[in-house]
């Protein structure tokens, strides 16, 4: 009877110790979430403190309580307290090591997937506006033999440049067929990308944007002036296709003139505002 009473007292003592340890875990989580420096514009301190520390450590502690009660009900209070104190440090070390291992494994798998990816076909054609060509459409097929652990927006993409001036085009639209949900399964995907010159006005580049819909002015810059655009001859355009970190260099099969895109934009309502401003200054109106 004395032994049973002693074991019962130790059990109750361990339960009280577990309650005190649980409270200390949550106090530590609150202190971390309150005083730890904010890592970025998204505040993740509270989710990390609650969901990745306090809750898991509390569950582990009470699993230990249940295991001690079932397997070794006579464990001393001091030893149980040491287990409860060491538990969050062991959990944190295992979680950090496991997270690092998972991250490295994912990176290695992603690198292996990217190394086997290839461009099967590559085509280009004029991108027609409402009246005539206003840009370039690229269409190419990418093969992912091992799939790709990225979503649709982070798969293969390309960039378009003029070969002589190096001025860039803006990607206006991009589509992937077949559609990808979550990640690319192993297979072949056709990617279609529409490019228009960067100097086009926002009313053409972003017609659905409320601020841009009313801005019809061409956007000339030091790298691409109106004279540069109108003086360039027809030429194949330079393409960079990104399957991984190093781009694949290609050229369009057809030749294009920036002046043609400029003329189409003028037909669709674009305005050379700098030229209009100079004429108004000369006329005094």
pLDDT digits (tens, 9 = 90+) for 170-210: 999 999 999 998 899 999 999 999 999 999 998 888 876 65
Lateral strand order in the sheet of 157-162: 157-162, 235-242, 248-256
Q: Please give the model's pTM, rounded to 2 decimal places.
A: 0.67
Tokens 């079932």 — which residue? Answer: 70
- Ranking 31-40, 154-163, 189-198, 262-271 by mean pLDDT, the lowest is 31-40
> Percent of the chain at pLDDT above 70?
86
Shared domain check, 279 and 141: yes
Q: Summarize the confidence of residues 258-265 as an average pLDDT.
A: 92
SS3 40: coil
Shared domain check, 267 and 161: yes
Q: Summarize the confidence of residues 204-233 as an average pLDDT.
A: 78
Q: Distance between CA 260 and CA 270 in Å, rounded? A: 13
Shared domain check, 124 and 58: no
Structural domain of 205 = 117-283
Q: Which helix (H) or strand (E) is 29 found in, with range?
A: helix 2-35
Shared domain check, 133 and 73: no
- Among 97, 94, 95, smallest CA distance to 51 is for 95
Residue 79 has pLDDT above 90, yes or no: no
The length of the chain, given as a count of residues: 285
pLDDT of 279 reads 37
* 187-197 and 169-177 beta bridge pairing: antiparallel
Lateral strand order in the sheet of 133-144: 118-128, 133-144, 187-197, 169-177
- 109-145: pLDDT as tens digits: 999 999 999 999 999 999 987 778 999 999 999 999 9
Shared domain check, 259 and 133: yes
Residue 218 CA: distances (Å) to CA of 223, 225, 274: 14, 10, 9
Shared domain check, 148 and 45: no
- Which regions of 93-132 does DSSP assign to beta strands (E)? 118-128
Whether residue 153 contacts residue 160, with contact meaning beta carbons closer than 8 Å, is answered with no
Query: Which residues sit opposite 174 in a β-bridge?
Result: 193
Q: Distance between CA 136 and CA 169 in Å, rounded? A: 9
- Which regions of 64-178 does DSSP assign to beta strands (E)? 118-128, 133-144, 157-162, 169-177
Query: Which residues sit opposite 126 in a β-bridge?
Result: 136
Q: Which residues of 124-146 are buried (b: 16+ CB within 10 A; e: fewer)?
A: bebbebeeebbbbbbbbbbebeb
Shared domain check, 151 and 82: no
Residue 265 CA: distances (Å) to CA of 132, 137, 173, 268: 9, 16, 17, 5
Q: Which helix (H) or strand (E) is 63 found in, with range?
A: helix 55-71
Shared domain check, 124 and 106: no
Shared domain check, 146 and 253: yes
pLDDT band, residue 211 (cuts 50/70/90): low
What tokens appear for 200 in the block?
Answer: 């086009």
Structurally, how many domains does the chain consist of? 2
DSSP 8-state symbol, 191: E
Q: Distance between CA 285 and CA 216 in Å, rounded? A: 20
User: 152 burial class (0-12, 13-18, 19+ CB within 10 angstroms)?
Assistant: middle
Shared domain check, 103 and 30: yes
Shared domain check, 205 and 68: no
Shared domain check, 201 and 188: yes
The per-residue pLDDT of the chain, averaged, comes to 85
Q: Distance between CA 157 and CA 234 in Å, rounded? A: 25
Q: Distance between CA 139 and CA 193 in Å, rounded? A: 6
């Amino acid at each position: 009877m004395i032994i049973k009473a002693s074991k019962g007292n130790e059990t109750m003592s361990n339960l009280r110790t577990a309650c005190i340890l649980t409270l200390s875990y949550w106090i530590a989580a609150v202190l971390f979430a309150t005083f730890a420096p904010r890592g970025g514009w998204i505040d993740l301190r509270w989710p990390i403190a609650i969901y990745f520390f306090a809750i898991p450590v509390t569950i582990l502690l009470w699993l230990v309580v249940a295991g001690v009660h079932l397997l070794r009900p006579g464990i001393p209070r001091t030893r149980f307290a040491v287990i409860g104190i060491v538990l969050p440090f062991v959990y944190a070390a295992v979680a950090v090591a496991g997270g690092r291992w998972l991250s490295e494994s994912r990176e290695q798998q992603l690198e292996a997937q990217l190394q086997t990816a290839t461009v099967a076909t590559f085509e280009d054609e004029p991108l027609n506006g409402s009246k005539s060509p206003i840009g370039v459409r690229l269409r190419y097929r990418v093969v992912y033999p091992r799939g790709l652990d990225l979503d649709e927006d982070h798969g293969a993409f390309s960039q378009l440049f003029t070969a002589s001036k190096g001025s860039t085009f803006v990607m206006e639209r991009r589509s992937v067929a077949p559609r990808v949900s979550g990640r690319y399964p192993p297979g072949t995907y056709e990617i279609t990308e529409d490019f228009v010159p960067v100097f086009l006005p926002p009313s053409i580049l972003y017609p659905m944007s409320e601020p841009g819909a009313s801005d019809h002015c061409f956007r000339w810059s030091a790298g691409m002036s109106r004279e540069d655009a109108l003086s360039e001859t027809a030429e194949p355009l330079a393409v960079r296709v990104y399957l991984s970190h190093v781009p694949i260099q290609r050229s369009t099969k057809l030749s294009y003139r920036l002046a043609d895109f400029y003329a189409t934009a003028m037909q669709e309502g674009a305005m050379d505002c700098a030229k209009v401003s100079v004429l108004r200054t000369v006329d005094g109106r």
